[in-house]
Amino acid sequence: MSYTVVIPTIGRANLDQLLTRLAELMQPVLVVDDRPATGAELRLPDTGASVQVLRSAGRGPAAARNVGWRAADTEWVAFLDDDVLPGPDWAAQLVHDLHGLGADVGATQGRIEVPLPGHRRPTDAERGTAGLATARWITADMAYRRAALKRVGGFDERFGRAYREDADLALRVIAAGYRVVQGQRHTVHPVRQSGPLASVRAQRGNADDVLMRRRHGSGWRERIGDGPGRLRRHLLTTAAAAVAVGAATRRHPRVAGAAGLVWAVLTTEFAAHRILPGPRSAGEIGRMLVTSVAIPPAACWHRLAGELRWRAVPPAIGVPAAVLFDRDGTLVHDVPYNTDPAVVQPVPGARTALDRLRDLGIPVGVVTNQSGVARGLISPAQLQRVNTRVSELLGPFQAWSVCVHGENDGCGCRKPAPGLVKDAAGQLGVPADRCVVIGDTGADVTAAAAAGARGILVPTDRTLHPEIQAAAEVAPDISTAVELALSGRVGP
């Protein structure tokens, strides 16, 4: 089982201990130095392991991990953070976790343990770190199939901090048709020492939450197993403080008093929510009181900054509910008004592309104009025999939607009308706007757009140049078109 270990680092002291723990590892280890380019050379212990240092110039953990996995050439890439300690048999457990995984598995997650003090209740910071033990898809210990990373483009580097970039990647990998499974390997994530205002600085994550909503929709929290958060209460607390200050400035004591009371009640509740589960020492109570006053406006400020910064970010396109193909010129070579099953010949790569979708459980269908029936050039029986031969050569299709009308019959099914696409979606029981239509003419992509679906043009020698110019997405062949449909990337 081939894999590469990728460790992004900012030079934490734990890195030496981590690499020493991996000393017996026979697989390559890539340490990505994410300190600014002007920093001193990263010094590593001589453990005898095959360790290579790369640099990402301080662009953040998402960029550092991208540098690492793109430099790897193994089937799997195992990400570890530089502040964790894998278990003594971690490498053997990783191999066990990876062994026998099907092609539909894109990632496997390690089990995280956060050691907490046994002699007292954990502090607010310690409880926050302890949440990593039950969090989904955190890259403290996460192994991804390199093909899955390549398909979705890796980590989104717009997430500039170690926050949400792991959940975003997992959602996109799942949307591309992969499963993410739980492994058995074990890794310890110690609680790092943080400053007294760390919880205030952490409110920068509210801007990242905006990016998550833009990319994955309003239900993203539920999908990653996260709670609803306290932003609404923070908004109310901040608004009450603003009203109190404004009213006091304008000498409206009753309004100022009422708003100030609301602020005090909300702030007290927030502070108590953080103090009561903790050790309740004088130092901890003082930190909680101060930061409970500062957190609501900080959260609101970063949320507003995120709304402004990410207002134009498009949603991530998920795996399609179905992929529909034109027949002649797209799946098989175009033989005008073909009546002979013997001359049916698939285009190169068609069977492989279709099987790729079938392996991922994505329904496939055919949407085809066959006006030869209306013209009397093809009988219904001949059409059926040709279609049957297409299925024999290319495998089963869950939907066939065929228009047998002529150009002047005024039907609503003949492409570029949307009828065929909507009919095929109806046969499959999926929304038309979650389908992808792949064809070789402008009528194919126009029909897709009219039905609300996504259209990808695969030109042939018979495709008109204006049709190519007008198409929003163009792929050179059917295999590339299918990969575009799966990845969510927009083709040139």
328 is catalytic: yes
Please give the order of strands across the beta sheet that includes 399-403: 399-403, 364-369, 322-325, 435-439, 454-457
Buried/exposed code over 163-183 (b: 16+ C-beta within 10 A; e: otherwise): bbbbbbbbbbbbbbbbebeeb
CA distance 219 to 226: 10
CA distance 208 to 129: 18
Q: Return the structure tokens found at 302.
A: 């970063």
Q: How many CB atoms lie within 10 A of CB 290?
A: 15
- In angstroms, the Cα distances linking 276 to 145, 208, 346 are 43, 29, 69
Q: How far is CA 427 from the centre of its chain?
A: 29
The catalytic position among 82, 326, 423, 444 is: 326
Phi, psi for residue 369 in degrees, rounded to 5? -85, 130
CA distance 401 to 364: 11
326 is catalytic: yes
The catalytic position among 328, 423, 440, 444 is: 328
Q: Where are the alpha helices (DSSP H) in 310-367?
A: 350-359
- In angstroms, the Cα distances linking 156 to 66, 166, 169, 206, 281 are 9, 9, 7, 17, 41
Query: Residue 118 carries which side chain, given as an amino acid letter?
Result: G
Would you name the residues annotated as active-site residues?
326, 328
